[in-house]
Structure 1
Amino acid sequence: MPNPDNSRDEAIKSLDERADALAARTAKITPDYGSKAAGYGYRLMAVLLGGAFVGIGFGAVVDVLAHTAPFGMIVGVLAGFGMSIWMAVRSAQRMSAEAASEWGPVTDLPPDDEDD
């Protein structure tokens, strides 16, 4: 005849293991929003700086080829900066749409009852 305490302890241990496995399977994984948002910020900064530097490069090439000392570089910087702003706005719209589809709608913060 089997020992009833041993079979009961084994059954409880088995149930605990199955409950832990179920909890591990159903646990909701919270995404890391901070690192993704920082990546978006760095990407926008790279677009803005890259456009200005490309404009400087094209302006310098025009200055060397056309012998128009500062004017090619000035126009190149302005055109590159304008293009980089346009590209940054488009990228921000695309990133915002991607974040909204991935993270869901934006929720408001609760009202702050404490006044300083």
Structure 2
Amino acid sequence: MSLPPESREEAIARLNKSASDLEARTTPQISHEMAGQAAASQAWKIIADLFGGVFVGLAIGWAVDHFAGTSPVGIIGGVLLGFAISVWMAWRTAQRLMAEANKHGEPKSVPFDDDEDQGA
């Protein structure tokens, strides 16, 4: 069984339609709920970075104090160093998230955001 002959323009149009249909099927559709969950997980990661750095610095400072005998200096220095490192890690994560968000362009308006503008 042979296919009916078609012109070059018809073949290109058919292929473009097939490609756009395939792209529409394979592009993941992110719901508002999924976007909110992703944002919440990133926020928890930043919070964990902040607390984790301080606690690791505290533990290292305690260990220095315990073995070197420098009573409060190690703990104070460890907490300050851990805090500085945790702030740097949180800043780095936030910069990465902002670059990723800017790569995707302007966010679409959420339906309930439009209602707030009308009431003002």
> Normalising by the residue count of structure 1, what TM-score does the alignment of the two structures yield?
0.65
| Runs of at least 5 residues in structure 2 that lack an aligned partner in the other structure | 1-20
Partner of 2:55: 53
Partner of 1:30: 30
Cα distance in 2 for partners of 1:93, 1:47 equals 14
How many equivalent residue pairs?
A: 92
**CA drift at 1:87:** 1.1
**Residue 117 of structure 2 is aligned with which of 102, 112, 115?**
112
Cα distance in 1 for partners of 2:30, 2:69 equals 59
Q: For the pair shown, which has the larger CA radius of gyration, 1 or 2?
A: 1
> Normalising by the residue count of structure 2, what TM-score does the alignment of the two structures yield?
0.64
**CA drift at 1:72:** 0.6
Partner of 2:70: 68
Partner of 2:11: none
**CA drift at 1:89:** 0.5
| Runs of at least 5 residues in structure 1 that lack an aligned partner in the other structure | 1-21
Deviations 1:23-80 (A, max 9, x none): x959982342101101110110111011001100110111012101111101100110
Cα distance in 2 for partners of 1:57, 1:27 equals 46
Please tell me the root mean square deviation across aligned C-alpha atoms, in Å.
2.7
Percent same amino acid at aligned positions?
42
